[in-house]
Amino acid sequence: MKRLLILSMTILLAAMLVSCDNSSSESDLSNSIDVNAHDFERTTITLGVINLAETFGEIERLDVRRNVQLFNLENELYQIEVIYYTEDDTTRLRTELVSGRGPDILYSTWFECSIFTPMIRQGMLIDLLPYIDRDPEINREDFFTSIFEAAQNPDGSLALIPTFFYIQSLAALPGVVDATKAFTTDWFLELVRNAVDDGVNYPLDPMTTGYAFLITTLMYVDLGIIDFATGVSDFENQTFFDLLEVALLLPEDIAAHPDSSLFGRMSTGGQVFTDVSIVSFLSFSRSKTLLGDFTFLGYPSDKGGIIGATTQSHFGISAGSKNQETAWSFVRSFLHSDSPMETHFTMPFALRVDKFDEQVISAMGVGEWSINDGGLEIPLQVLSEENINELRSLIDSVSFVARPNIIITQIVVEESSQFLAGTRTADDLVRILQNRVGIYLDERG
């Protein structure tokens, strides 16, 4: 089976940046705080940490552990017990939530659709918006509106609130693509066709295979092919046929040794598009350093380019919890202006605007870093006020939050292999995917 290329690469990159040398700090905190300092009986509430480390490469952020320890030190009536769930435990977790025996609070670095969407659709998590609206120190306006609203459910409720995010988009150098023209799927297909006809080695990045392209566009862009919220799929959509044609034009395997640097390929016409994951100010500076004033196009759709975001560090509260107010008092510790969350420029972008502003200040130190591109060590560009404003505008234009689903990813990769090898027609692939994905969505409930 082909490995899950883009999904794994994007998430593992973010996980490496998020970790930021937490191990020694964790040890210091564990030694300095006695979580059992209170010598009388307290009510225990539980924090369920959904550990997708085997899939995504990270457990939970340091500030989650730190806030648990501080809560247990300071609260005289309640204490938090942390319970870990692996990906294999999710059926048990849903059973516990339905029966009222599940954790009071849920935390997961990543929003894995196959885990959380059934919980949300079946009402296992409360709507957090009423708590935000009546909190004297937290307002909806404290957060980036585009991300905050895109993270909400179709009915306008908010079952899981993220605290960090990063941005994804296709990009090209100025003049290569007419940025004033709507970046539609059919136009994108035409551009890729023309590039292949002209002998361009890499229409997209060397690591973007046909498999990776399909997964990225299905999981990170709202194309109307899979509606994860309602559990409906439409692979017979003409847009998906266009995507299949693009996938056929891309390499089947990763180019292990590209013929030049990213800047070299794009500046000489050897590569047309690059898939940019702007994970942090550090990665934004890297892209600016290598490509200069490149153009963010979004991902193609029938309505034009769609800028997507991936959210991180999500919190939710169980509908069956008998201690929802206390659970909220813990969750809000990550959401108000005095939250002790780390705001280094290597971190993903903070959902709170004032925390993002702290990251802007931190990002002034990015010039001390360098990047290796094609064997050349290049000092990173210090971001200007114009660059920061460009990034803010890009964030404001986000219209979709990614909802990756590892099970659908596996189905698409398994079934598309014969199509990409030329032994299965597009019609047959569409019929099979519509059937298999439809069955999975129905069974998921």
Tens digit of each residue's pLDDT (9 = 90 or more) over 207-241? 888 888 998 888 877 788 888 777 789 999 888 99
Give me the domains of the chain, ranges plus CATH numbers.
Answer: 5-165+310-361 (3.40.190.10), 167-308+399-444 (3.40.190.10)
Check residue 343 and give its pLDDT: 84
Strand partners of residue 284: none
233-263 exposure pattern, b = at least 16 Cβ within 10 A, e = fewer: bbbebebbbbbbebbebbbeebeeebebbbb
Confidence of residue 8 (pLDDT cuts 50, 70, 90): very low
| Nearest-angstrom CA–CA distance, 164 and 151 | 12
Point out the least confidently predicted range of 169-178, 246-255, 356-365, 371-380: 371-380
How far apart, in whole angstroms, are the C-alpha atoms of residue 353 and residue 143? 5
Q: How many CB atoms are closer than 10 A to CB 129?
A: 16
pLDDT value at residue 61: 62
Q: What is the mean pLDDT of residues 371-383?
A: 77
Q: What is the pLDDT of residue 320?
A: 94
For the chain, the distance separating the N- and C-terminal CA atoms, rounded to the nearest angstrom, is 27
Q: How confident is the model at residue 33 (pLDDT cuts 50, 70, 90)?
A: very low
Residue 232: predicted pLDDT: 87
Taking a C-beta distance cutoff of 8 angstroms, is the pair 220, 310 a contact? yes
- Amino acid making up residue 292: G
* Cα angle, residue 268 at apex, residues 5 and 389 outer, rounded to 5°: 70
> What pLDDT, on the 0 to 100 scale, is given for residue 323?
96
pLDDT of 6 reads 39
Q: Per-residue confidence at 28, pLDDT binned at 50, 70, 90?
A: very low
Question: Length of the chain, please?
Answer: 445
pLDDT above 90 (res 162): yes
Residues of the chain with pLDDT > 90: what percent? 44
pLDDT in tens, 247-289: 999 887 776 656 667 778 888 888 899 998 899 998 898 888 8
Read off φ and ψ for residue 214, nearest 5 degrees: -65, -45
What's the pTM?
Answer: 0.84
123 has pLDDT over 80: yes
